[in-house]
Amino acid sequence: MDPKPIIEPIPYLSNTNLKVDCLRLDQIHPIVSGNKWYKLRYYLKAAKETNANAIASFGGPYSNHLVALSYAAKTEGLTSIGYVRSNQGEPITPSLQEAMNYGMQLVFLGRTSFQEKKDALLKENESSLNKDIYFVDEGGYGNIGARGAATIIKDWKHNNANDVANAISNNVENPLHQYDFIICAVGTGTMIAGIINAAAQHQTIIGIPVLKNEGSIVNEIKNLLLNQNAAFTLLHEYHQGGYAKTTPVQINFMNQFWEETKIPTDIVYTGKVFYAVNELVNKNYFKSNSSILVMHSGGLQGNRSLEKGILHFDY
């Protein structure tokens, strides 16, 4: 893949004092959407370099990560295994069915002790001499995933003359370094760690955690940073009740955002990010004349958990 995501202005979130743009990572591929390919790219490379026959990872029943991995593995000639936070015998979700269609073998670890079983599998694989299966932590978490996520910034290519002109006028080589703020969703913390590692010194990186009461996330992010003292900000009040939780307020915003921008969002990650940006703009959180880049991290699988018709766009 040679992704070339575009920068799209978002007038709906901007005003006379603020410029809000979006990096449309969701458009780089119809299946390996958004940040998924970036986080997976070096894991896939490592799996092939170690002569593994399969690549395995972990996720929930509506996992963007597992769907993306199943397709990406198939294109690289690897079989894939998905360890699922679900019970054997439960209905197969459309997301899991899609992963199976791309050849992924599913193993159900259950819900109550999923984390413990996951950690045991990762530890067992790390100490094993048999490396036929290459394991990737949930969501692509790890230094390799963060290195891939950093290429969202590092490998971004100028898409038109305006990008180049804006970069020159702002005295930066990389147009993504011209922004004062970069904002993204935070799940495992892998994406934001990569962005922090690749950001310019003057940029403020803001993460919107999608989990409630996520007390360990700061350390999980710092474990992936090249500079342990690098500054970043997490705003914890926009999780809408927790992971994969949503509210009528968020749904209404997502529908209104779609009507105004024709940009689809999901209930797990991007719907919360754009909602947060809208709230922050209305609260005058940003200093006047700031430029803001919002990362659309792609992946709409979570919307499949909703009844049809709740959102005004396809899912």
CA neighbours closer than 13 Å in the CB half-sphere of residue 144: 16
Number of H helices and number of E strands within the chain? 10, 10
* 283-315 pLDDT, tens digit each: 999 999 999 999 999 999 999 999 999 999 998
The CA distance from 162 to 171, in Å, is 14
Which positions of the chain have pLDDT values less than 70? 158-172
User: What is the model's pLDDT at position 126?
Assistant: 85
Q: Sign of torsion, CA 175 177 178 179?
A: positive
Let me know if the fold of 7-30+150-305 is the same as that of 35-140: yes
Q: Give all strands of the β-sheet with 181-186 in edge-to-edge order.
A: 7-9, 18-24, 290-296, 181-186, 204-209, 233-234
Q: How far apart are the first and last CA of the chain?
A: 24
Q: Which residues are paired to 192 by β-bridges?
A: none
The CA distance from 54 to 241, in Å, is 36
Under a CB-based contact definition with an 8 Å cutoff, are residues 184 and 226 in contact?
no
- For the record, the structure tokens of 210 come out as 């999608």
User: What is the model's pLDDT at position 1?
Assistant: 79
User: What is the model's pLDDT at position 42?
Assistant: 98
The CA distance from 32 to 172, in Å, is 30
Under a CB-based contact definition with an 8 Å cutoff, are residues 123 and 91 in contact?
no
User: What is the model's pLDDT at position 185?
Assistant: 98
User: What is the model's pLDDT at position 2?
Assistant: 78
What are the distances in angstroms from CA 80 to CA 91, 104, 143, 160?
A: 21, 5, 21, 38
Q: What is the CATH number of domain 35-140?
A: 3.40.50.1100
Domain residue extents for the chain? 7-30+150-305, 35-140
pTM of the model: 0.93
CATH fold for domain 7-30+150-305: Rossmann fold (3.40.50)
